[in-house]
Structure 1
């Protein structure tokens, strides 16, 4: 069944997108993440459509996010040795911070660094690829009542106007009937509507398109401004490093009650003590039911090195890596 918590629904939407993107135009290679955006707006689900060949080159730069400061360095690093201040565009903040980013990027083997007298020179190891094709924002609301529709209409209108995303969607759960037309009329016409049905779990057929979205990409011959393009790439980098299975980073998988349960082709967290899908706020050390794994679970008589909590993290990491491999292999 669909989890009651919006958090649980969000995870199922992420898994659906991973299985079935694009819902109205056929398969596209894409990465899926969650809870990303800007200071003004955070999206529930983010789909990064990628060029598989360029994505392979991005993976050669490592599995971690390249943060905004290092991204400035990696993208601007020249083919030949050059003083870093001549090589990189003016960052708009003191160069000493750029110098620190240069050291960190070199420490991650993203660029090469050397000294020429008292000057730091840099050289790229490989060009940073143009791997991001489109960015799609999805707002998730399983129970779409009148008050929720009013709030979401404003949020989706902002997403459409901001120009960061190429498509904007609302995902909402069906009740066996069509989504209420009066509520859908509250939404901006540019936003797509996904009507989901996760009653039997998640698979590629668990949603129908109730309304097709508009393409918000710039028209032919036009481009977004450089600041927006950079912000889009920063979001894509965070999506690449984080993915959507990183919920364990803000929860307590080391609690004896923490489990992963299958919802069709998805794995979601489950609290055996409360018998529900917990939120990150609920699944914390302050929870009244929190019970740390006994030390012997981590050292003896358990087939997973480090205890079950560590084992669950490895399961989720393997699934993330498997999805990366699948995206890279799409022709």
Structure 2
């Protein structure tokens, strides 16, 4: 079986993408995140293909994401000292908000600032790199019945039309039929189809597992990027960079921020080469909505658990958070280095 919730399936797709991107081809440097997009459209899984050398330069600006205001300052900060209103392009909104962003950027060591008389001058610590090569959006639907397919077709058609992403994919669990149902649905021909084989007969977890061979390409997507490198308008370029920055800061393991790993029933279980949440009280992977302080089964860790020291100093919940954050950091280190195959 596959996880009981689409959330659980989404985590498996994210881990597969982290292990085996690009499907059916040579590996590419990438970071993976989830539940990102714009106000009008949110993607389940987002793959940011990056230039490893430029990505390493991006890491010099820290592990946290840069919001739109910080990007305005960091991308345009001058090489030498200048008054910030001379150095930065007109933002289209009051300069007092830019001044606040300047102070935030300096507080995070993203730029340098100094006061000359009654003016604030800034200069960059280094050029902000062009680290994003491509953005790939993946919509996840493990059980693709007809009603789900109809809704997905409209969503994917919107993604193809707006071309905010360079590629659009549908990920669905393989059925074993001679022709997979995803190929028979009325999906946009520009969208790729990835059939996953996470379900396994025997496992020590919940009947699903992830490795590099756990998916197959049934239909290759079209490249939605404009042929002219300058074909995207500046607003779209900025929106894409904002999405990439959120993906960089968030990653896909950030579910611990919206769930309750401090509950005594919260566990991480191995599913092949993935770790997924498991609720011991429910006996399955919970949804983000279920795993909250309002859950009838929620039981906070006893205070004694948080004072025992190594190996779970601070309690199991804190240990889970630190484990997931370390894994996210290792992925960033791997991408920034020259891995074999890139």
Normalised to the residue count of structure 1, the TM-score between the two structures is 0.98
Equivalent pair of 1:146/1:183 in contact (CA under 8 Å): no
Q: Runs of 4+ in structure 1 displaced over 3 angstroms? A: 181-184
Equivalent pair of 1:145/1:183 in contact (CA under 8 Å): no
Which residue of 1 is the match for residue 227 of structure 2?
219
Which residue of 2 is the match for residue 164 of structure 1?
164
Equivalent pair of 1:260/1:268 in contact (CA under 8 Å): yes
Superposed CA offset, 1:202-250 (max 9, x none): 0111111010000011103542000000000000000000000000000
Equivalent pair of 2:195/2:216 in contact (CA under 8 Å): yes
Q: Root-mean-square deviation (CA), in Å?
A: 1.1
SS at match of 2:53: helix
Alignment of 1:99-118 (within 5 A): 99-118=99-118
User: CA separation in 1, counterparts of 2:285 and 2:136?
Assistant: 26
Equivalent pair of 2:182/2:193 in contact (CA under 8 Å): no
Which residue of 1 is the match for residue 210 of structure 2?
202
Gaps of 5+ in 1: none
User: CA separation in 2, counterparts of 1:221 and 1:53?
Assistant: 20
Equivalent pair of 1:149/1:183 in contact (CA under 8 Å): no
Alignment of 1:1-331 (within 5 A): 1-177=1-177, 178-180=179-181, 183-184=184-185, 186-200=186-200, 201-220=209-228, 222-300=230-308, 303-329=311-337, 330=339, 331=342
**Mean CA deviation greater in 97-106 or 222-231:** 222-231
Deviation at 1:302, TM superposition (A): 5.8
Equivalent pair of 1:24/1:212 in contact (CA under 8 Å): no
User: CA separation in 2, counterparts of 1:24 and 1:91?
Assistant: 43
Deviation at 1:181, TM superposition (A): 5.7
User: CA separation in 2, counterparts of 1:181 and 1:66?
Assistant: 37
User: CA separation in 2, counterparts of 1:181 and 1:262?
Assistant: 28
Equivalent pair of 2:251/2:328 in contact (CA under 8 Å): yes
Superposed CA offset, 1:110-134 (max 9, x none): 0000111111111001110000000
Superposed CA offset, 1:22-45 (max 9, x none): 103320000000000000000000
User: CA separation in 2, counterparts of 1:183 and 1:155?
Assistant: 17
SS at match of 1:160: helix
Change (3 A) 1:17 1:96: same
Equivalent pair of 2:267/2:280 in contact (CA under 8 Å): yes
